[in-house]
Chain A
Amino acid sequence: MRPRPTNIAALIIPVILAAAYPALPDYQKALMSRVLILSIYSYGYAVCFQMIGVMSLGHAALFAAGMYGAGFYAFYVSPDPFPALSVGVASSVLLSMLLGVLAMRVGGHYLMIGTLLASQTLYLAALHFNDITGGEQGLVLRGEATIVRALKPLLSELDARYVASLLALTVAVVGITLLTSSRLGRLLLAVRDDEEKLESLGYNTSLLKLLAFSISGALSGASGSLIALLYGYVGAGYAGVLNSVEPVLWVLVGGPYVEFGPFLGCLLVNLLADAARALLRGHVLVVGAGLVAFALATGRLRWAYQLMARWRSRAA
C-alpha cells in the first residue's frame, strides 16, 4: 500500500537537522546532540506506547541496560566504542525479551509493572555491585572509549558528537518509517486496536508484542549506549524514576504521529526546559507537565486517552 504522508514527513527531520547545524551557536550544537540521542529513546518508548498501546512505567531499565552494556564493554573489555555499541544494544534487547516473556507468562499488561520493577532492580543492583558499576557515583570511561575520540582525527569534538547523534537518529527515523509502513507495523497497530480480534484471525499477538517490545528495547538501549559512549559516563541515576518519566512526557507532548511525534516532543520539552533553566529556574518535569497540561486542556491528548482506555479495558 501507499505509505502514509506522515511517514514521508518524518524523513525531513534529519535533513533539516543537518542543514541547520552550521547556523547553530556552539551551545545549541551541544544541546542538540544530546536531544538527538534522547529522541532515539523517545522513539523507543513510542514503539511501545503508541504502536502496541502498552504504557511502560520503567523504560529506564531498557535505557540503562544499553548504557551499562556499552559502558562495561568499553570500561572493562576494550575501549573500542563501536563493538561497545553493539553490546549495549544487545543487552537491552535481551532484557526486553526477558521481560517480555516473563510478562507474557503472567499476562501482557504486566509489562507496565514489569519494567518498573526491572528499572528499580537494575538501580539497586548497580548500587550494590558498585565495585563493578561504580554504584550511584558511576563510572567515567576513558577518552579512547568514546565515539568522540574515535572521530576526533576528522572532526572537532562538538561536530563529532553532532554527526554521530544525527547519524544514529537518522537510522532510527528511517527504521521507524520502514516499520510503520510495513506489514509488521500494521500488525502492531492491529494489536493495539484489538488484540483478541487479531488473535481470532490466527495471529500470535504475544509474539508480536514481544517483537515490538524488543524493538523498543533496541532503540532505548541504543540511546543509552550512545549517551555512555558519547559523554563517557555511566551511572545508576539513568536507571532512576526520572529517566522513566521523561520519555512519557516527550511522547505525550509529541502527539499521535509515531513517525515524528517522539522527536518533536523530546525537542520541545528539552529546549523549553533549557530555556526555563535560565529564565524560570524550572525543572524539566515542570516544563513537561506544563506542556502536557496544555495539551490536555486543548484536547490534543485525546489519542493518548484512547490508548490508555484500551489498555485499561484489556487489563480489567
Chain B
Amino acid sequence: MNRRQALSSLLKTGIVAVGAAGLGAVTGYMAGSSFGGQSPQGRELGVKPIKIGFQVHRTGIGAPYGFWYERVANAAVSYINRTGGISGRPVELIAEDDETSPAKGAQVVERLVLAHNVDFILGALFSDVVLASGPRAGELKRPYFAVSEGTHVPFGKLNRWCFQPGITDVPGQVTAVAKWIFENLGNRVAMIYPDYAFGHDHRDALTKAAERYGARIVEKIPIPPGETSFTKYFTRIPRDVDVLYHVMVGDVLTFIRELGVYLGRERPELFGFIDSIEAVPLSAPGLEYLEGTYFWEAFPRYADGYDTPFARFYREAVGVDESGADKSDPSRVSAFSHMFGVWETLFAIKEVVEQSGYSEPTRSDYEVFIKTLESMDWFNEGLWHPQGDKLFNGRLHQSFGHQFISLVKNGRLVVVHRTEIEDSVYEHPNDYTKQPLF
C-alpha cells in the first residue's frame, strides 16, 4: 500500500484528510483505548500481559484504513483475551497514531519499544511508514509485523526482524490473478497504473507473469500522481486488446466515468484491483459502468462470496454486515480486502509465541521466537485465519495465499474464482535467515 493509494477512497467517503492543508483533524476514533484489550482476568490473576504495540494510521491520508485496522485489532485482541490470551497471558494492545508519516512512524516504533517495552509491534499499512519503521525495529531488536501488501518485506529491503505473515504481497496477488486473466479474459492486455512505486510493482509483476504464461502486455500506460482527468491517456489503449487492467490511478469515480464515456459499450474486458474501490460503496454515482467487469479481492466484501463458518465468525467479530459495511453505519464500507491481515497477523503472533515458548523480551526468547516463525511453513484456515490457509516462506518472511476474482453483477461483487496458493508463488533470492539476529 502507499500514500496515494487511499486517495480515492478518502475522497469518496467524504473524510477530509488531515495531511496537507494545515489543521489536522483529531478524528476522535475512540474505538478502543490504548489499554482496551487488557483482560480483567489477567489483572486479577496478576499475570503479566503480553504487550503488543500497534502503529496505526489514525490520522493522515491512511486514516480511512487505519479506522478499520484498529477496529479489527481490538476485535482480535478481545477475542484472544476472552479465550485464554496468549500462553495464558492477557494481551495488552498499545496503539499509537503514526499520522501515516514515515518520520512519525519511526518515532512510534521508538516509543513503543523504549517507553512501553512492548513484546511485538503490529505494523503499518502504508509502505513508506513500513520502510521507515522496519530499520528502527531491527535496530531496537523488536519483531515488527507489517500488514501492508508491499514488496519491502519479501524483497529483502528490511531486516530479519520484519515479517508479513498475515497478508499477501502485490507480486503474489498479481501473479495469481494474471494466470486466470490470461486463461479466461484473453492474453492481449493493456495496463493502466499509477506512476509511482505501487503502480510499478503491479507493472513489473504483471509483465513477469505475462512472460511466464505467454501473454502479451501490449501497452503500459502510467498515470502521473495527482492527475485529475484521464481521457487523454485512454487514447493510448489499443483497439484490439482483450483486457484493460487498471489499478488505483487516482480519483476512481472520475476515472470510471471518463473511461465509460471514452470506451462506451464496445469495450475490452476490464480487470481492476479492489484497492481502487476499497471502502467505496459500489452504489457510488458513476460506478455503474463497472457492471460486468472483474476485480481482484483478497477477501470478498459480500458475505456470500466466501461463506465459511470462520469467515462468518470473523465478520461478526469485527462488526461488518453481509455487504461489507459497518453494522452500526451501513454507509461506511469496510476495507475488507486488507483489514483481515491485522486479525491473521495477531493470531500468527499468538501461534508462534505459544509454539516457541516466548515469555520475555530477551535475546534468547526472541531468538527462539524468530527461528520458530521462520520455520513455519503453513497457517491453517480457521477462526485464526478466516481468509484461508497460507503458505509461509521463512526465507522471505512472507505469506502466500488464495486470491479471489469477483464480477460486478447487479451492483454487487460476485466471486467467480478462487485461486490456488501455488498460483501466487514466485521466486526471489532474498534470504533473511542468513542475516545475524543480534
Contacts and interface: CB of A to CB of B under 8 A. Distances in A.
Q: Do A and B bind each other?
A: yes
Interface stretch (B41-49, B97-105, B348-356): B97-105
A236 B23 CA distance: 21
A27 B114 contact: yes
A265 interface: no
Contacts of A13: none
B18 A283 contact: yes
A30 interface: yes
B132 A135 contact: no
Contact of B128 (A138, A286, A289): A138
A163 interface: no
Interface string A116-150: 00000000100110110011111111000000100
A222 B96 CA distance: 29
Interface stretch (A76-84, A164-172, A238-246, A297-305): A238-246
Contacts of A289: 22-23
A251 to B, nearest CB: 16
Interface residues of B, number: 52
Given A148-B139, A282-B26, A283-B24, A128 B195 contact: yes
Contact of A242 (B20, B25, B34, B128): B20
A281 B58 CA distance: 8
Given A233-B132, A277-B97, A140 B23 contact: no
A25 interface: yes
Nearest to A280: B26
B224 A233 contact: no
B271 to A, nearest CB: 24
A281 to B, nearest CB: 6
A128 B26 contact: no
B197 A136 contact: yes
Nearest to B95: A281
A157 interface: yes
Given A136-B128, A238-B102, A286 B197 contact: no
A241 B152 contact: no
A172 B340 CA distance: 48
A232 interface: yes
A311 interface: no
A235 B127 CA distance: 10
B261 interface: no
A284 interface: yes
Q: Which of A136, A138, A236, A286 has the most CB of B within 10 A?
A: A136
Given A140-B131, A140-B157, A237 B102 contact: yes
A285 B127 CA distance: 22
B422 to A, nearest CB: 28
Contacts of B82: none
A25 B3 CA distance: 33
Mostly, the A contact residues are helix
Nearest to A287: B24
B409 interface: no
B107 A34 contact: yes
Contacts of B3: 136, 237
Q: Which of A34, A157, A232, A283 has the most CB of B within 10 A?
A: A283
Contacts of B60: 283
B306 to A, nearest CB: 30
A277 B152 CA distance: 27
A186 B226 CA distance: 43
Contact of A140 (B29, B107, B134, B196): B134
Contacts of A128: 195-196, 224
A278 interface: yes
Contacts of A139: 131
Interface string B186-199: 00000000011110
B29 to A, nearest CB: 8
Contacts of B19: 241-242
A290 B110 CA distance: 25
B112 to A, nearest CB: 9
Interface in B205-245: 224-226
A31 interface: yes
Contacts of B224: 124, 128
A242 to B, nearest CB: 7
Given A137-B152, A284-B99, A231 B132 contact: yes
24 contacts: A25-B115, A27-B110, A27-B114, A34-B107, A124-B226, A135-B200, A140-B157, A140-B158, A141-B135, A227-B103, A231-B106, A233-B102, A233-B106, A237-B3, A237-B103, A241-B21, A242-B101, A243-B103, A245-B22, A277-B97, A278-B34, A281-B28, A283-B97, A286-B23
Given A27-B110, A238-B102, A278-B34, 20 more contacts: A25-B115, A27-B114, A31-B107, A130-B200, A134-B197, A136-B197, A138-B127, A139-B131, A140-B152, A148-B139, A157-B139, A232-B135, A233-B131, A236-B128, A240-B20, A242-B20, A245-B22, A277-B97, A283-B59, A286-B23
Give the 9 A-B CB pairs with smallest separation, nearest first.
Answer: A283-B24, A135-B197, A27-B114, A27-B115, A127-B196, A137-B127, A26-B114, A233-B132, A30-B110
Interface of A: 25-27, 29-31, 34, 124, 127-128, 130-131, 134-141, 148, 157, 227, 231-233, 235-238, 240-243, 245, 274, 277-278, 280-286, 289
